[in-house]
């Protein structure tokens, strides 16, 4: 299993993922692998996160990256349209004998930029494509999108997320959502990977050291919150 998090902010977007794959029936004995890559760059300004049937997803991502290398695109709407065309055709070819609900479950989150009508400004936009819905494009209405094991992250994002956050803010929040989920559900875990997307800078993945430093800062803030509740009014900041 996995957790993919996409968050939109004032100056761009953040894509983040854990690295755990769970092998076996989760109702019984399972094995885990914490070395899976689930984030990829599709174009200069578009990234993709995958969850579900990972080996199939990797094959499809490889085809998508080849497609956009040959025919570069900037607007995520066009990227999503082409991606759906390719992915849906492959699923129809590979699983023609299966009913839609019997096909391997696959979720794709694409984060990029949309050119607003009437001007040249590029604003963040995020889509979800799922095999269960025949990869019909689902546009994020509230600035965030998650797949895999999203329950805890959705709850926390409702309390902590604000679309006015900057990318720097969102990086810390995305790391926090995944780390907190991992403390509650063993199907999420392993090293966290994070990528930022800005219209001018494009897709940039953070170094593991940077992610570790962010996780350390988050842990320190968690400790301060615990101290606040434990210490009561004595823990309040002094004027």
Count: domains in the chain: 1
Q: Is 225 within the bounds of a domain?
A: no
CATH number for position 83:
3.60.20.10
Q: Is 69 within the bounds of a domain?
A: yes
* This model's pTM is above 0.85: yes
Q: Is 222 within the bounds of a domain?
A: no
Q: Is 238 within the bounds of a domain?
A: no
The predicted model gives 203-213 an average pLDDT of: 96
Sheet with 106-115, side-by-side order of all strands: 39-43, 46-52, 106-115, 122-130, 138-139
Q: Is 187 within the bounds of a domain?
A: yes
Report the Cα 44 to chain-centroid distance in Å.
17
Domain that holds residue 33: 3-206
In tens, the pLDDT along 102-151 reads: 999 999 999 999 987 767 788 999 999 999 999 999 999 998 999 999 99
What is the rounded CA–CA span in Å between residue 123 and residue 153? 24
Give, as one character, the DSSP assignment of residue 186.
T
Q: Is 160 within the bounds of a domain?
A: yes
């Amino acid at each position: 299993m996995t957790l993919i998090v996409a968050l939109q902010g004032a100056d761009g977007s953040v894509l983040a993922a854990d690295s755990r794959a769970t092998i076996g029936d989760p109702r019984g004995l399972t094995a885990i692998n914490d070395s899976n890559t689930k984030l990829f760059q599709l174009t200069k300004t578009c990234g993709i996160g995958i969850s579900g049937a990972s080996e199939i997803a990797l094959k499809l991502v490889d085809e998508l990256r080849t497609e956009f290398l040959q025919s570069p695109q900037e607007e995520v709407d066009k990227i999503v349209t082409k991606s759906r065309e390719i992915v849906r055709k492959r699923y129809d070819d590979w699983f023609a004998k299966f009913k839609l609900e019997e096909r391997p479950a696959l979720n794709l989150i694409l984060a990029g930029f949309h050119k607003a009508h009437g001007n040249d400004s590029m604003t963040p936009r995020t889509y979800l494509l799922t095999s269960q819905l025949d990869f019909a494009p689902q546009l994020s209405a509230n600035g965030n999108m998650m797949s895999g094991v999203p329950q805890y992250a959705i709850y926390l994002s409702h309390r902590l997320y604000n679309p006015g956050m900057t990318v720097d803010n969102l990086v810390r929040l995305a790391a926090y959502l995944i780390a907190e989920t991992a403390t509650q559900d063993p199907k999420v875990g392993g090293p966290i990977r994070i990528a930022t997307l800005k219209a001018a800078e494009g897709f940039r993945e953070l170094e593991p050291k940077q992610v570790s430093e962010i996780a350390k800062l988050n842990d320190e803030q968690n400790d301060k919150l615990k101290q606040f509740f434990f210490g009561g009014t004595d823990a309040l900041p002094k004027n």
